[in-house]
Amino acid sequence: MTPEAFARVAPELAQRIVADSRDRVAWMRARSRGITATDVAQLTSPNAIARAADAKLTGGSGFSGNAYTAHGRQREPEIAAWVAATHRIHPSSALFHAVVEKRHLATPDGISVDAQGRVTLCEIKTTKKPWRSIPRSYLRQVWWQQHVLGAERTLVVWEQHDDFVPVGDEPRCAWVDRDEREIRHLVGLATELIDELYRRTMQRRQTADGALLDAARARAGADTTRPAQPYRALALAD
């Protein structure tokens, strides 16, 4: 479902659209200013906060894709069409922010909104290996998307392949219900990540500002003692 379609069928949800993944540059820029499902997937424990902050501030891990991710992108429209036909959950390209915390972001693969305004999501994956259950990192993504969109459940759909040839006639799927305990845990970790990003960003700014001030005062022959930095509002990116 495109942002234009959301404006027609779910205007309240449409007001929370931040970007459209069809415009990849704008979408990536918007994602960099918040905490996404991809970021949250890394948050296995408080010890993972530093690693996630490193990835966020450097623009990611440096991984730009491989044959497996290319296969996933190629297959996603076909799998999404199957989901729409069998479960009436339509593909979505929109990036949303949460109702309260606008830095909480998610781009679900599919969304449906019923007559009562209830939101159902879809998440699509491709895999080389058979799944006994949905991997934990993907569950964290699903719970985060439910948090951002206010959804009660998500259809996780996965297609196994053998050397990039789909296995079986149809993808497999399973429903994942909303889990408030898991969501609270992820929101807490996301808050810690935001705090860590703020601390690092302000430290860099103070270092840079102090160096400029020292240089200016040195040129003027003035005292190079640095003044205390005033508190500034939290921001992931200016």
Residue 182: count of CB within 10 angstroms of its CB: 16
Task: Give the number of residues written for the chain.
Answer: 238
pLDDT of residue 150: 97
* Close Cβ partners of 2 (under 8 Å, ≥ 6 residues apart): 20, 22, 92, 93, 94
First-to-last CA distance in the chain? 30
Q: Quick: pLDDT tens for 70-87.
A: 887 889 999 999 999 999
Task: State how far the Cα of 213 lies from the Cα of 30, in Å rounded to an integer.
Answer: 32
Which tokens sit at 77? 């429209």
Residues of the chain with pLDDT under 70: 2, 7, 60-64, 207-218, 220-238
**Computed from CA positions of residues 48, 36, 91, 70, in that sequence, does the dihedral angle turn out positive or negative?**
negative
CATH code 3.90.180.10 for 3-194: no
List, in sequence order, the alpha helices (H) in the chain. Answer: 3-9, 11-14, 24-32, 37-41, 49-57, 67-87, 136-149, 180-220
pLDDT of residue 133: 95
pLDDT of residue 89: 97
pLDDT of residue 226: 46
Specify the residue for token string 């918007």: 30
Task: State how far the Cα of 135 lies from the Cα of 176, in Å rounded to an integer.
Answer: 12
Specify the residue for token string 């501030």: 57
Task: State how far the Cα of 15 lies from the Cα of 99, in Å rounded to an integer.
Answer: 10
Q: Quick: pLDDT tens for 123-149.
A: 999 999 999 999 999 999 999 999 999
Task: State how far the Cα of 109 lies from the Cα of 95, in Å rounded to an integer.
Answer: 10
